[in-house]
């Protein structure tokens, strides 16, 4: 029984134990073997048109070029990753500004509150890791840098640890909005990942690099 062209290709391709990636990136030896099998098993009364051979050759060549392009892109990606790592290394030791939990170690923390522009009163709210309110202190209405010294409601210095800070914007006795506070934290580590670069601030606080709004040299 005569083997069709499709079956000939299937027989030639499945008969080899070489991985598909290696076959596609070879120098046409596999293709020539498949083409020979196809020619040997074609129907003499209904031979394959020469144009069909040309199409097969063009298709195989296109696939091989695609594999080569993918290899080049993979190599470029590896190079870009190395460049990205060297750039991330420059972040370590600097102070990044972002809205996140604050690690208080006894030294003043520079905050960047951004209250509502129409507010006539602004309150800084400090909470512990359990969400308990430790202090509420009024701060200047104008947006700008503000040094938080880590005191509780009685004025006593807080213990070293992780705290959550937010800013309430008030007007005429009505709460307009409560926002997380941006602050400057020292970058201790920078690492890449599938979701992008992540910065680790003092105290193990993780912040996405895309959430950083400013960067400065450590004081």
154-207 tens-digit pLDDT: 889 999 999 999 999 999 999 999 999 999 999 999 887 777 788 899 999 999
Question: What are φ and ψ of residue 27, in 5° steps?
Answer: -100, 45
Which string of DSSP letters, residue by residue, matches 34-83? HHHHHHHTS-TTSPPPHHHHHHHHHHHHHHHHHHHHHHHHHHHHHHHHHH
Handedness of CA 16, 21, 27, 32 (dihedral sign): positive
Task: Please check whether residue 100 is in contact with residue 201, taking contact to mean a CB–CB distance below 8 angstroms.
Answer: yes
Q: Which domains does the chain have, with CATH numbers?
A: 5-84 (no CATH), 95-216 (2.60.40.4070)
Contacts for 87-91 with beta carbons within 8 Å, 24 or more apart?
88/190, 88/191, 88/192, 88/197, 89/190, 91/187, 91/190, 91/199, 91/209, 91/215
| Residue 113, CA distances (Å) to 29, 40, 102, 206, 208 in order | 68, 80, 13, 20, 19
Q: What is the pLDDT of residue 76?
A: 56
Per-position b or e across 77-104, b if 16+ CB within 10 A of its CB: eeeeeeeeeeebeebeeebbbbbbbbbb
In the chain, what is the straight-line distance between the N-terminal and C-terminal CA atoms, in Å?
85
Express each pLDDT in 19-53 by its tens digit: 444 544 455 567 667 777 777 777 676 776 667 66
Do the beta carbons of residue 182 and residue 213 sit within 8 Å?
yes
Rounded to an integer, the average pLDDT of 122-142 is 92
Average pLDDT over residues 57-82: 64
**Residue 62 to residues 34, 53, 57, 65, 86, Cα–Cα distance (Å):** 17, 14, 9, 5, 36
Confidence of residue 216 (pLDDT cuts 50, 70, 90): confident
pTM metric for this prediction:
0.57
* Residue 177, CA distances (Å) to 160, 161, 162, 166, 170 in order: 29, 27, 23, 10, 7
């Amino acid at each position: 029984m005569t083997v069709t062209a499709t079956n000939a290709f299937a027989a030639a391709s499945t008969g080899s134990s070489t991985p598909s990636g290696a076959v596609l990136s070879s120098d046409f030896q596999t293709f020539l073997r498949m083409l020979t099998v196809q020619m040997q098993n074609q129907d003499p009364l209904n031979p394959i048109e020469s144009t069909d051979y040309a199409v097969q050759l063009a298709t195989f060549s296109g696939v091989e070029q695609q594999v080569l392009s993918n290899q080049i892109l993979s190599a470029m990606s590896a190079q870009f990753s190395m460049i990205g790592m060297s750039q991330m290394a420059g972040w370590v030791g600097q102070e990044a500004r972002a809205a996140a939990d604050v690690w208080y170690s006894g030294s003043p923390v520079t905050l960047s509150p951004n209250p509502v522009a129409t507010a006539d009163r602004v309150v800084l709210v400090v909470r512990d890791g359990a969400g308990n309110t430790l202090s509420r202190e009024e701060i200047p209405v104008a947006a700008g840098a503000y040094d938080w010294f880590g005191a509780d409601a009685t004025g006593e210095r807080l213990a070293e640890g992780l705290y959550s800070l937010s800013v309430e914007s008030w007007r005429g006795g009505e709460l307009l909005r409560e926002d997380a506070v941006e602050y400057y934290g020292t970058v201790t580590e920078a690492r890449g990942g599938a979701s992008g670069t992540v910065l680790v601030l003092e105290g193990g606080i993780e912040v996405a690099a895309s959430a950083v709004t400013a960067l400065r040299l450590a004081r």
